Structure 1
Amino acid sequence: MLSIINGKILTMDQRVIEKGYIIIKNGKIKDIGVGEGKNIPENGEVIDAQGKIVLPGFIDAHTHIGLVESSIGFEGADHNEKTNPINPQLRAIDSINPSDIAFKEAIEGGITCTAAGPGSSNVLGGQFSAIKTYGNRIDDMILKENIGMKCAFGENPKRNYNEKGKMPMTRMGIASLLREALFKAKDYKKRIDEAGEDYLKRPAFDMKLESLIPVINKEIPLKVHAHRADDMFTAIRIAKEFDVNMTLDHCTEGHLIAEEIKKEGLHAIVGPSLTHRSKFELSNRTFETPKILSEAGIKIALMTDHPVIPLQYLSLCAALAVKAGMDEEEALKAITIYPAEILGIDASVGSLKVGKDADVVIWEKHPFITQAKVEYTIINGKVVYKRSN
């Protein structure tokens, strides 16, 4: 049993509690309210958060943590299987190394959950997973194993396969290969459904097509890597053609087409913005994108694309979005409840609410203040980091 008392609690559940308490039991939030609490257990651990800010753990909606390991190079780069442009059968969890020092740094920065998955060298790169940032074994860190199918448009797949002298070397080629994969997956599923219980009538097992069935069934979205507006429109066109769900990840030129994104009813995962314009499709990169999309009524999450921006600087990215005009509360939601909702994990994380996972971070001051430090990080009710000085 663990209790937090006297803190200013920003629940991200439409409540701010001055001098509040949280009671944690068996890894879940048992109670939350105003004051020291009537049922603070006498024999449990108590953290006095007097003068501190208490928030849900931050969530980064798009990273490659553990798949691109720190300080290693090729030996630790396990995020792009650059041998075939269509690889939906790959799973992020088979590449994530929890021993990567980036997990320790994430915890120290108040990041308790992230979406981690393949890179963008392929048209279809494999499955993203939602994981907690604490643990020694990835199997014990998984919050939701399959949250989306990585799909990439634009320069990255073009560059990778141009070097190999094979398709796709153009945006037409990218769209064509994605359409072909989705056509085959729909046909594969149809033949399985028609065969029913008659195993002999079922099509031969195809691991790639099997992996796309959750996309066809709209159980998971295409997690679309797209920076340029034209690539986003191509992704939207294909998603509508095959009646599948999608999220717009990166969305670098989203501010140029905000009304179109709103009209399509899409969510956006924006970033990484704390970088220089390293390629042409980033030429319109600006920290004003979150503000413009948010003010257009689009639900957004902010992302670091770790290791492009180290994961622990997610709160700095949010602070810079506020500096560029984004509403402060919306920026906090963009690294807590909004990514949880977009990723489909909001029943467990993203806000401080009775019954949810006890992922709680205590800050010495508001996290958007550059000098702010994390005092405690709690994941699944366990104190996994305590600042020593």
Structure 2
Amino acid sequence: MCLGNHYNGSRQKKNGGIDLILIRNGNVHDGLGQVLAKTDILIDNGKIVRIGQHLEVAQAQVIEAEGKCVMPGWIDPLSGWGTAAGRGQARDNDETSDPLTPQLDVYYAFDPESMMYQELWGYGITAAGVAPSNNNILGGSAAVFKAYGKTAEAMCVKVPAALKGSVDDKVKQTYGPRNAAPMTKMGIFSALRELIAKCRSDKAEDQKDLKVQAFRPVLEGRLPLILNCNTKAEADAVLSLFEKEPVQLILANMYQLDESLKDKACGLILGDLTDGFNRYHAAVDYKALFDLIKAGKPVALSAFGDAVSPGREILMWNAHGLLAQARRLGAEITSEDVLKMLTSVPAQLLGVADRIGSLTEGKDADVVIWSGNPLETFRALPETVMISGEIVKGEKAA
């Protein structure tokens, strides 16, 4: 909350549009667990500058939100959005000439028109973590992009946001048919151990190795490492490998969760819980998952799975499915808990919580005004969507 209801800030306009916007009398769900009834949000030049009641602002575009849900834009934390022009086409985030390519950068695979074509914001998604595929042990760095814009530079929130890799069966399926290493889990972890050893080496040739230079920030705890792990055995092996390293570890596409993860220093990005064809899907222990969430473990929802091009609605389906399981088990998981898994938690894991992921003064105005609560009813529609303060859907959209 801010003291004072009068605002006399900047009137500067960019691109000829109205930059001073007042969302009035909405039910504000801030993405951090708090709900503020009949609250106003003032946006100036793409930033949230005031949150409070009865704000008085001259020359602002007013959007009436009484009786509606005002939420942060959702963040899909792990995706391939924007890396191919259309369904079925080869993806530019899938370099499989070598199982270890940490020096690659997904930024150069990102095509803004491909991202815009999907219109993610039509389902409340205003940003996405875009990453290499699951086919390499280390595929390259991931980046965070807004879901609307004309250039990769303008849409980029953070690059690099993490290094992305995988220890699941996709790696074996990629290199096994070529009779090339790694063909086994032994080969996958041997390759990781060899790279770690090179990073610790004093040899001049090792220090000049681009792979070593790209992986060293991970070992030093300066860049998060996202590793795809479908099973508990894979997760346990990863945790053991990095147990004595200050690595910011994020286990992704997880299905076989248990309470032993509660005390482990790692974040979690769930796999697509709607994919009934995934052989690990039935192994999800929802009680253990809910215990982890209530214990404060950073757990994010995603639509990332084995599908080549998941639909933009998958993230919402995952949220609803999770709440349905909570009701079935009588778990104390609320829609506000799940909202955090769609907003502030992925922002935290990807290192962009200073800009996006919650409705907080000073952050980017990535705001969605829903006709109702979209986590409680499929009838709720995103009536107005703002990305960086620009209205991309709804009143006076460009």
Q: Is the shorter-chain TM-score for this pair beyond 0.5, marking a shared fold?
A: yes
* Alignment-derived partner of residue 213 in structure 1: 216
- TM, length-normalised to structure 2: 0.87
Deviation at 1:278, TM superposition (A): 3.4
Opposite residue 33 of structure 1, the aligned amino acid is G
Q: Deviations over 1:211-256 (max 9, x none)?
A: 11211221112101001000001111111244422101111101xx
Query: 1:246 aligned to 246, 249, 255, which one?
Result: 249
The 8 Å contact of residues 186 and 216 in structure 1, kept in 2 or not, is answered as no
Report the 3-state secondary structure (helix = DSSP H, G, I; strand = E; otherwise coil) of the residue aligned with 1:161.
helix
1:157 aligns with 2:166: no
Opposite residue 94 of structure 2, the aligned amino acid is N
1:301 aligns with 2:300: yes
Opposite residue 44 of structure 2, the aligned amino acid is K
Shift of the 252–106 alpha-carbon distance from structure 1 to 2, 3 Å rule, reads same
Query: 1:47 aligned to 63, 66, 72, which one?
Result: 63
1:135 aligns with 2:149: yes
Query: 2:48 aligned to 14, 22, 29, which one?
Result: 29
Report the 3-state secondary structure (helix = DSSP H, G, I; strand = E; otherwise coil) of the residue aligned with 2:141.
strand
Query: 2:130 aligned to 102, 109, 116, which one?
Result: 116
Report the 3-state secondary structure (helix = DSSP H, G, I; strand = E; otherwise coil) of the residue aligned with 1:341.
helix
1:56 aligns with 2:72: yes
Report the 3-state secondary structure (helix = DSSP H, G, I; strand = E; otherwise coil) of the residue aligned with 2:112.
coil
Shift of the 212–265 alpha-carbon distance from structure 1 to 2, 3 Å rule, reads closer
Unmatched runs of 5 consecutive residues or more in structure 1: 192-200
* Alignment-derived partner of residue 23 in structure 2: 4
Opposite residue 321 of structure 1, the aligned amino acid is L
| Aligned length in residues | 368
Instruction: Give me the whole-angstrom Cα distance separating, in 2, the residues matched to 1:245 and 1:34.
Output: 39
Report the 3-state secondary structure (helix = DSSP H, G, I; strand = E; otherwise coil) of the residue aligned with 2:386.
strand
User: Aligned ranges for residues 278-293 of structure 1 at < 5 Å?
Assistant: 278-279=278-279, 281-285=280-284, 290-293=289-292
Report the 3-state secondary structure (helix = DSSP H, G, I; strand = E; otherwise coil) of the residue aligned with 2:218.
helix
Q: Deviations over 1:273-317 (max 9, x none)?
A: 1112334x4452476664343144422110011755323432231
Deviation at 1:206, TM superposition (A): 2.4
The 8 Å contact of residues 286 and 325 in structure 2, kept in 1 or not, is answered as yes
Opposite residue 52 of structure 2, the aligned amino acid is G
Query: 2:337 aligned to 327, 330, 334, which one?
Result: 330
Instruction: Give me the whole-angstrom Cα distance separating, in 2, the residues matched to 1:263 and 1:208.
Output: 31
Shift of the 233–348 alpha-carbon distance from structure 1 to 2, 3 Å rule, reads same
Report the 3-state secondary structure (helix = DSSP H, G, I; strand = E; otherwise coil) of the residue aligned with 2:342.
coil
Report the 3-state secondary structure (helix = DSSP H, G, I; strand = E; otherwise coil) of the residue aligned with 1:100.
helix
Instruction: Give me the whole-angstrom Cα distance separating, in 2, the residues matched to 1:377 and 1:213.
Output: 39
CA RMSD of aligned residues (A): 2.1
Report the 3-state secondary structure (helix = DSSP H, G, I; strand = E; otherwise coil) of the residue aligned with 1:333.
helix
Deviation at 1:64, TM superposition (A): 0.8
Instruction: Give me the whole-angstrom Cα distance separating, in 2, the residues matched to 1:366 and 1:128.
Output: 31
Query: 1:373 aligned to 364, 381, 386, which one?
Result: 381
Instruction: Give me the whole-angstrom Cα distance separating, in 2, the residues matched to 1:202 and 1:278.
Output: 43
Opposite residue 147 of structure 1, the aligned amino acid is A
Instruction: Give me the whole-angstrom Cα distance separating, in 2, the residues matched to 1:265 and 1:205.
Output: 31
* Alignment-derived partner of residue 232 in structure 1: 235
Opposite residue 392 of structure 2, the aligned amino acid is V
1:353 aligns with 2:360: yes
Unmatched runs of 5 consecutive residues or more in structure 2: 1-19, 327-332
The 8 Å contact of residues 39 and 51 in structure 2, kept in 1 or not, is answered as yes
Deviation at 1:111, TM superposition (A): 0.6
The 8 Å contact of residues 12 and 351 in structure 1, kept in 2 or not, is answered as yes
Query: 2:391 aligned to 379, 383, 387, which one?
Result: 383
Sequence identity percentage: 28
The 8 Å contact of residues 275 and 281 in structure 2, kept in 1 or not, is answered as no
Deviation at 1:185, TM superposition (A): 2.1
The 8 Å contact of residues 302 and 315 in structure 2, kept in 1 or not, is answered as yes
The 8 Å contact of residues 109 and 313 in structure 1, kept in 2 or not, is answered as no
- TM, length-normalised to structure 1: 0.89
Opposite residue 170 of structure 1, the aligned amino acid is T
Deviation at 1:22, TM superposition (A): 0.7
The 8 Å contact of residues 274 and 309 in structure 1, kept in 2 or not, is answered as no
The 8 Å contact of residues 291 and 324 in structure 1, kept in 2 or not, is answered as no
Shift of the 10–173 alpha-carbon distance from structure 1 to 2, 3 Å rule, reads same
The 8 Å contact of residues 239 and 245 in structure 1, kept in 2 or not, is answered as no
Instruction: Give me the whole-angstrom Cα distance separating, in 2, the residues matched to 1:11 and 1:174.
Output: 41
